[in-house]
Amino acid sequence: MITITRRERFNAAHRLFRPEWTDEKNLEVFGKCSNPNWHGHNYTLYVTVKGDVNPETGFIINLRDLSRIVNEKVIDKLDHKNINMEVDFMKGRLVSTENIAVAIWEQIEPEIKALNAELFCIKLVETENNYVEYYGKR
């Protein structure tokens, strides 16, 4: 079992809230993350891919391909954006770190598979004090 991990970064605005709840309820559950005027983060994303080492190249996957996929499918859509308002794959989803991580997995998993490798983990770091790791439906 061997994996390779690529780190990418994006800076974005977001807000945690449920539109059907009152502001008080949102504040009670989500705290200052529910601020109606948004706040933001420097997100750090680690994409871990599992596979066999190709004897010709010594690679599980060419990092150039992995980086291209992650940038096209994820970073270009999230970086310097408002995640609640502008990101197609987050439409209708509560913008928690957990939900962003799952959505990123869905975005890139088929692309990784098409390169004969297997997506193993999405790690999404929101601040130096908290991060989420998603390993798919297993």
Q: Which is nearer to a second copy, 24 or 128 (CB)?
A: 128
Could you say whether residue 77 binds a second copy (CB under 8 A)?
no
User: Is 118 annotated as catalytic?
Assistant: no
User: Is 121 annotated as catalytic?
Assistant: no
Report the candidate in 15, 30, 36 with the shortest Cα–Cα distance to residue 95: 15
d(CA 48, CA 58): 17
Contacts 24+ apart (CB under 8 A), 32-39: 38/13, 38/14, 38/82, 38/84, 39/13, 39/14, 39/15
Burial class (CB in 10 A: 0-12, 13-18, 19+), 62: middle
Could you say whether residue 22 binds a second copy (CB under 8 A)?
no
Among 23, 53, 110, 114, which residue sits at the site for a second copy (rule: CB under 8 A)? 53
User: Is 33 annotated as catalytic?
Assistant: yes
Shortest reach from residue 88's CB to a second copy, in Å: 14
> CA of 93: how far to CAs of 14, 54, 99, 103, in Å?
12, 38, 7, 9
Could you say whether residue 68 binds a second copy (CB under 8 A)?
no
Could you say whether residue 89 binds a second copy (CB under 8 A)?
no
Could you say whether residue 6 binds a second copy (CB under 8 A)?
yes
Helix or strand or coil: residue 93? coil
Active-site positions read 33, 80, 126
Residue ranges that bind a second copy, judged by CB under 8 A: 1-9, 11-14, 16, 18, 29-33, 35, 37-42, 48, 53, 56-60, 62-64, 79-82, 85-86, 93-99, 101-102, 127-138
